[in-house]
Structure 1
Amino acid sequence: MGEQGACAHELEMIHATRHWVDTAVIGLNLCPFAKAVQSKGLVHYAISQARDTRSLLKDLAKELMTLADLPAQERDTTLLIVPYMLDDFLDFNDFLDDADALLERLNLSGQLQVADFHPRYQFAGTDIDDVSNYTNRAPYPTLHLLREESIDQAVQAFPDASDIFERNIDKLQALGIKGLRELGLAYEERK
C-alpha cells in the first residue's frame, strides 16, 4: 500500500523512511544518485502488510511488475517497507534469496534488482556495532527495487562509483555512533 490509502501509523513509517532517505542517503551523500530521483518525486514508498513469506512475495511481485510497467520518468525506484515481519536480520537476509528467485520467475532479472536495508544490518565480518553497517541501516526492513538501466546511467555519470562505499565508511566513522544518534539514525535502538 502506497501513501494514498495508508493509515496514520503507516504514514508515520513512510515519513520515517523518507527522513532516512533525506537525512542519511541524501544528507550524508551515501548515494550520490538518490537526490535527483527523490527531488523529482520518482521514488515510490510502499508498505507491505505481509506477515508471512508468501504474502511478502506477492507484495514484492506486485511492486516489481508495477515498476517494470511504468516509465522511469514516472517512477524510477520503489522502497517496499516491511514493518510486520523479518525483524531478525538473518531472516531478512535469507529472504533475499526468495526475492532474487522471484525476479527470475517474473523474467525481470537484468531489468530490475533488489537492494536491501534493515535496522540491524550487519556486513559479514563486522561487529554489530561497527559504524560501517549504518550504510545499509534503515528504520524498517526495506526492499529497494531499482532499474538496472538507471543504475548504469548513474554509474556512467559518476566515474568513481566504486569508491562510494569506502567514502561512506570514512564519513560514518568521522560521524560516529553519537553523531548518528543526534541525526536520529540509530534505528537498531528503537526496538
Structure 2
Amino acid sequence: MNQKNLLEVDWSRIPAPVDDGAAAHLVGMTMPPISLVATDDTAVTLSALSGRTVIFAYPRTGEPGKIALVDDWDMIPGARGCTPQTCAFRDLFAELKAAGAKQVFGLSTQSNSYQTEMASRLHLPFPVLSDEKLELTRALDLPTMQVAGLTLVKRLALIVDDSSISHVFYPVFPPDRNASDVLAWLKRNPI
C-alpha cells in the first residue's frame, strides 16, 4: 500500500488500541543510564537530565509516496499516526516548553539516519532519539508490537521528572491529540 498522505487520517476508520496494561509498571521507574543517538548529532542519556522531560514514543514514521511496512499497517491498532503525533508535538513545542517541559524528545526504534531525514522534512524543533538496538525499550520493558519481523514501540508518552517517570499516557488515540493531552496535563501539574 502506498502512503500518499501521512497527515490526513479519518480516525473513525482506524482501530483504536486498547489498554493492555503493558505500561502500568512505568510510573515511578527511574530512567536507566542508557545513551541514545539523537537527530541533532548528540548522544542523550535520559537519566542524566534534570527538570521535566517529555518523551513521546511511536512505532515508526512513514515517508510520503513510499510503500508501507505491511499492507494492513492502518488496521494494526496503534500503528497508524506517527507523523500526525510528531507534527502535533512540533506545533505545540513552544507551549509545552512554556508549561514546564525543559526537554521534549521523540523516540522510536528506527535508525538515526531514517529519523534525521524525517526530522528535517517535518522541521522538528526537538531531537528524536533512536532506540534501534532496543536498549531503552528492554530496560524499561516498554510496550512493543511485532510487525514484519521488527520490534516496534507502541505509542505512548512519558513525563519524566529528574529521571523518574511521573506520568504515562497509554494507550494514545487518536495520535494527533497526544501533544494537546500532554500540554493539558503539564498545565494541571506544574513542577
Bucket of the pairwise TM-score, normalised by the shorter protein = 0.3 to 0.5
Q: Which structure dedicates a bigger proportion of its chain to strand?
A: 2
TM-score when normalising by structure 1 = 0.37
| More helix as a share of residues | 1
> Which protein has greater RCO, CA pairs closer than 8 Å, 6+ apart?
2
TM-score of the two chains, using structure 2 as the length reference: 0.37
